Amino acid sequence: MNKDKIIICRCSDVTLEDIHKLLEEGYTSFEDLKRLLRIGMGPCQGQTCAELVRKEIANFLHQKAETVPIHKTRPLTIGVKLRAIAEGAKDEN
Amino acid sequence: MKTNIVIIGAGISGVSIAYNLAKMGQKGIIVIDKSYMTSGATGRCGAGVRQQWATKSNCEMAKRSIEFFEIAEETLQYEGGIEFKQEGYLILATNNEEVEQFKKNVELQNSIGIASRAITVDEALKIVPHLNPDSFLMATFCPTDGHLNPFLMTDAYYQAAKRLGVDFHFFENVKEIVSEHGQVQKVITDQDTYKTNIVVNAAGGYAREIGLMAGVEIPVYSEKHEILVTEPISRIQGPMVMSFSKNIYCQQVPHGSFLIGRGDPTVPHDHDITSTWHFLDEMAKTVADILPKIGELRVIRQWAGSYNMSPDKQPIISDVPTLEGFFLACGFSGHGFMFAPMTGILLSEIILKKPTTLDVGDYHLHRFKTNTIRETEKSVV
Ligand SMILES: Cc1cc2nc3c(=O)[nH]c(=O)nc-3n(C[C@H](O)[C@H](O)[C@H](O)COP(=O)(O)OP(=O)(O)OC[C@H]3O[C@@H](n4cnc5c(N)ncnc54)[C@H](O)[C@@H]3O)c2cc1C
């Protein structure tokens, strides 16, 4: 299958080809790829793609996947409406 | 290793300085960063760019920087595009003191050719219909303010600087700066030693620590500012909406998400950049008040970064009278992204002992020692 048809990040429609292109240009950290391609920034926060991207970086650098750092996990774990937070934050007494 | 110039920090300031020095013909420039590109404030910022300031020097810096952003893609030959959305800043006045101050600001801004204007609540609602009309008294609007993608803007300078021969070292930590007879001699990192007579401190939140390595006291500190991003939706908001008194800025970026952030005056002065539930609670209440419709959106991520604060909330773009060869670009106090094009030009001119494009008197390190602070910037979140 063509690399430009293989979607790695479903939130932001990033293909395997997009990733390989940046790796070849020298952007070899997860944090660089995240910032240039939006990988890990969508609603799933990298839950789907992080391990796939890590493997691609590891292959490219000829390293073991475990040695490739991935993105920092940030709150929230799931999207929550601002209004729900505002209401939840009101004093309940 | 021997080299002409070492720049510490590859945030937006460092890459702009590197590019401008190289463009002015300098060779042997090395930029060293302890982490990945944009790992500091640059990659964490709201990336809004505005000319609506309360001091003349900040107005001039912002105006000229925006003129650069307008032509940055062509000038830097950046194919990907920097996502410059130039649809203004709408700044809300929520009390009488602000109404008075904003009128003065607009007068000052207009006097140097910035197209800002004071507008009524009704006029503001025409520009951003989902504002709560009861939450403010009047507003100011400048249509040429805007927003950019901070990663792409930094990458654009980085690639242009690389083409001009600048060398970048990421994941390398500066540990020591050696000087002799009042002149910088060496920079020592965890990986190498560089013999050099010119060192630029563009270390953002760590500018004070880098100063101390060289024995130079810079009166800046780091302060945590938090920010969140929502799920993306179709376009409903052109300008950045901002209020100093309600402590909020809120921008819909071209991708569709909203970036919403604020500061907290009670946080300690340190390098903490952890996210808090407190920020989320308080920010959500302010959004529900000013922009109720945005309250319907889901927050998908929050993070934080450091402002590097100076005593008058104006940057330090300066040589150091007590140490030859040491130069500073720090203390941006939350507006270093939008000033970066001019920061790069001005500091390069200072380093090369050329006449400067703008009067940099307000930005000299000396102002704190001699107590000659000219003005303090009030229009900050
Ligand atoms: C939440 C938030 C929102 C903001 N919103 C805006 C906005 O809307 N508009 C605006 O104009 N500004 C905004 N700012 C401010 C703006 O981000 C900064 O002023 C600007 O990015 C500073 O850039 P810099 O290059 O000077 O510093 P940084 O981007 O912090 O870069 C400094 C670099 O130095 C490196 N470094 C530090 N110590 C060492 C060492 N010992 N050795 C090697 N490298 C080192 C760091 O790794 C870092 O990459 C915001 C900031 C935050 C935190």
- Give the three-state DSSP class for A5: helix
Q: Is B301 on the interface with A (CB under 8 A)?
A: yes
Domain count, chain A: 1
**Distance between CA atoms of residues B333 and B247, nearest Å:** 15
Q: Which residues line ligand 1 (CB under 6 A)?
A: B 8-14, 32-35, 39-42, 44-48, 173-174, 202-206, 210, 225, 227, 261, 305-307, 332, 334-338
Q: Of all atoms in ligand 1, which is nearest to the CA of residue B15?
A: 25
Q: By a Cβ cutoff of 8 Å, what residues of chain A touch chain B?
A: 29, 31-32, 35-36, 38, 41-43, 45, 74-76, 79-83, 85-86, 88-89
Give the nearest partner residue to B301 out of A74, A86, A88, using CB atoms: A74
Beta-sheet strand order (sheet of B5-8)? B167-169, B29-32, B5-8, B198-201, B326-330, B316-319
Q: What is the CATH number of the domain that holds A11?
A: 1.10.10.1100
Whole-number Å distance between alpha carbons of B336 and B306: 11
Q: Which residue of A has its CA nearest to B288?
A: A83
Mutation choice for B interface testing from A11, A12, A82, A87 by most B CBs within 10 A: A82
Q: Which of B162, B156, B133, B112 is nearest to B12 (CA)?
A: B156
> Which of B37, B229, B287 lies at the smallest CB-CB distance from A32?
B37
ipTM of predicted complex? 0.91
Please give the average per-residue pLDDT across B117-146, as a whole number: 98
The answer to whether B54 touches B193, Cβ cutoff 8 Å, is no
Question: Which residues pair with residue B167 across a beta bridge?
Answer: B30
Task: Return the pLDDT at B379.
Answer: 84
Lowest mean per-residue pLDDT among A88-92, B257-261, B374-378: A88-92
Quick: pLDDT tens for B95-123: 999 999 999 999 999 999 999 999 999 99
Q: Please state, as a whole number, how many other Cβ atoms lie within 10 Å of the Cβ of residue B191.
A: 11
- Tell me the average pLDDT across A47-62: 96
Domains of chain B: 5-46+151-220+312-369 (3.50.50.60), 89-143+221-309 (3.30.9.10)
Which domain, by its residues, includes A85? 3-92
Pairwise CB contact (< 8 Å): A82 & B231:
no
